[in-house]
Chain A
């Protein structure tokens, strides 16, 4: 762990971190929105309205400013408005960073394809999805993440890998190649293939990609952990660690030795893997342990409220990490997060977000819980996919 990480470093970085916020958002044929336009200033945004009004859909639209499938992990064809005869849709924003940037994304296709491609345009030029990360970071927390610690290890691993990927985009490629090579190997094993050389090559690839995954997760956690619990309030300090065969080998071996050992273990487990599928060891078996430092207990035994606070603590630390790496402020999407916090935690969260200087997008059904934000936020009430005009007295 490097000296100087933690509070002092964190405090010193604020000065040259650039702002990044949404000044306008337009939706076309997106989810329940036929056509929608919203203009905002630099402050955080509060979206309220009845169930089904379209609040989460707006956050989802913003989550598409990152590569991938957005906060619901949806297919590109799911975004088009049900009931319209076109499968085309678009999300377009004007973003204020160092300069003004126009970003658009959506499906623009003449055909009704089963899996249409999502196009990205930055300042009106078609760009690869990965180019988005050069302009903007978006972090989110949704109600779907609530059960995170009660579900299987796979869910927590995916959660961690998502965090790692938002900071190190190449992580996605390593995961994809790892899983793909693993599936190819499983198929050959299942077919009882006699192509030993082919299997060996795949195992070498799995070992190589596996070590890359392990090391990116590790680097990420070495940076994230010290930033947990360094905010201005009492959000709990969290420590995330990894456990597994591979991890323990990597602990006392060079990464080349660990890679060779991993490859040998794949060779040795072929028979077993043929029976049970997958592979006995690997980064797809890693256990992700989240530890509540002050309470001295693991997340899975924490109360629902404590778990929520842990998740928020991780998100705030991740936000700091992004600011440190990219020198710009991420957008935060907080879907239904506030309603489940007690009044003091709620106040802490508002304070943290103000301190970070980010534009956060909150949703909730009840406007009153956001009132402590006062003039520090801008409020929009959504009703049936429209903004309800403010009544001026």
Chain B
């Protein structure tokens, strides 16, 4: 029915989060109909992102440099380190504008059923960063699911022998709430009311 090129485009679009075959078809048609305003700029942008975006070797953030803008910034507070599961959690924290420290992206949370063990998370890199001695407080910004909380305790356990205080966001949110779904006010309130992990 479709040309192979369009078929391929639909297939790829369908795999995007939140889309499926039907919305994939709609998106493909929309792109083709809006060639100049959307399709062409989008394809250029995709190529550019594919070429330039790198994973920051220090914190795991995405940036066009191997050391991201956040890690380079002299304005950020080096004594504060916020641990998040994924880059979108980092984005959510940044959007709220209430946090001025550095980040560490773990790359997931512990889940035996999904086959994610400690070896899949960037815990060694985290420990190496802490070795430098500048961090005075680690803030866990992980979800309140079993996986998120297990990960928080696990990481806390790894770093507890140091002179670093370990805190976590005070989520007043429904259990299982992910950072990304929280509005900025809730995030800053949760950050202000952070409490020690015991």
Residues of A within 8 A of B (CB): 110-113, 128, 130, 173, 177, 180-181, 183-185, 187-188, 191, 193, 195, 197-198, 201-202, 204-205
Contact = CB atoms under 8 A, between A and B. Distances in A.
B117 A195 contact: yes
B21 A180 contact: no
Given A191-B112, A201-B157, A111 B118 contact: no
Contact of A181 (B118, B146, B157, B174): B146
B13 to A, nearest CB: 13
Interface in B50-67: none
Contacts of A201: 150, 153-154, 157
Q: Would you list the 10 A-B pairs with minimal beta carbon distance, nearest first?
A: A111-B20, A187-B112, A201-B153, A184-B112, A180-B146, A188-B112, A181-B146, A201-B150, A173-B175, A111-B22
A113 B14 CA distance: 12
Contacts of B110: 198
B23 interface: yes
B186 interface: no
B175 A177 contact: yes
B7 interface: no
Contact of A183 (B22, B23, B113): B113
Contact of B154 (A110, A130, A198): A198
B149 A205 contact: yes
A202 B153 CA distance: 10
Interface in B131-170: 146-147, 149-150, 153-154, 157
Nearest to B175: A173
Given A184-B150, A187-B112, A201-B150, A113 B20 contact: yes
B22 A205 contact: no
Given A112-B20, A191-B112, A195-B117, A184 B157 contact: no
B111 interface: yes
A184 B154 contact: no
A187 B113 contact: yes
A183 B21 CA distance: 33
A128 B113 contact: no
A204 to B, nearest CB: 8
Nearest to A180: B146
16 contacts: A111-B19, A111-B21, A111-B23, A113-B20, A177-B175, A187-B112, A191-B112, A195-B118, A197-B157, A198-B112, A198-B118, A201-B150, A201-B154, A201-B157, A204-B153, A205-B150
Residue in B21, B154, B174 with the greatest tally of chain A CB atoms within 10 Å:
B154
A314 B20 CA distance: 46
Contacts of A191: 112
B106 to A, nearest CB: 14
B70 to A, nearest CB: 30
Nearest to B153: A201
A197 B154 contact: yes
